[in-house]
Amino acid sequence: MIVTVSREFGSGGREVGKRLADALNLEYFDKELVTEIAKHTELDEGYVSSVLESGGFRNYAFTFGRTMPLLMSTPTPVTDILVAQQRIIKAIGEKGNCLIVGRSADVILKDMNPFRIFVYADKQSKIARCRERAPENEHLTDKQMLRNFKEIDGGRKKLHDLLGTAPWGDRTGYDLMLNTTNVNIKSIIPALAEYVKCRNK
């Protein structure tokens, strides 16, 4: 069984992924992928993270085409990162019994027929969730947070749509889409795990 969890920033998608992996006894992958990719590419982990998590594209002077061949023809550290990401995620998928949060795993592993979840929530709910988890010295206004959401999700969308056919967040690319607005994530996990299990029969 392979499960992928894509998510809007602040929607609690990581928590859904972590808890669901525990419930289904799947190996869990999230930020550790960044470490792995940094190791493979011999690039700084913070840099890899900025490319993969926050749409680091904006720092680059060239525009990406929508297709891999074009991308491949402009070798840069970004290309190396994306290639390493693909290789590492495919290797994880081949071992099976895993749950991967983000990193476009849903499209990278498409041929392995993963169960693809998308987690989202309304803006107020995402702001509240982020505030709860923010370090004490972080004081962002709602407006700043919304700008961050837009930037981070925009980066995710860009990376995802580079590889995929269905646009990021569009229902056609997912098996199940969960709205976590006002939801206690812990409480939905047993039912969600059951749902994934019967869908995989």
Name the site residues for a copy of itself (rule: CB under 8 A).
118, 120, 122, 169, 171-172, 174-179, 181, 183-184, 187-188, 190-192, 194-195, 197-199, 201
Q: Whole-angstrom Cα distance, residue 5 to residue 18? A: 10
- One-letter amino acid identity for 84? A
Residue 15: CB minimum distance to a copy of itself, A: 15
Report the number of secondary-structure helices (H) and strands (E) in the chain: 9, 5
Q: What is the DSSP string of 120-150?
A: E--HHHHHHHHHHHS-TT----HHHHHHHHH
Residue 182: CB minimum distance to a copy of itself, A: 9
Closest CB to a copy of itself among 20 and 33? 20
Contact yes or no for 173/116 (Cβ under 8 A): yes
Residue 195: CB minimum distance to a copy of itself, A: 4
Residue 191: CB minimum distance to a copy of itself, A: 4
Residue 54: CB minimum distance to a copy of itself, A: 22
Closest CB to a copy of itself among 79 and 181? 181
- One-letter amino acid identity for 142? D
Closest CB to a copy of itself among 68 and 183? 183
Question: What's the Cα-to-Cα distance from 168 to each of 104, 131, 154, rounded to whole Å?
Answer: 9, 25, 9
Closest CB to a copy of itself among 36 and 175? 175
Closest CB to a copy of itself among 56 and 164? 164
Q: Whole-angstrom Cα distance, residue 47 to residue 59? A: 11
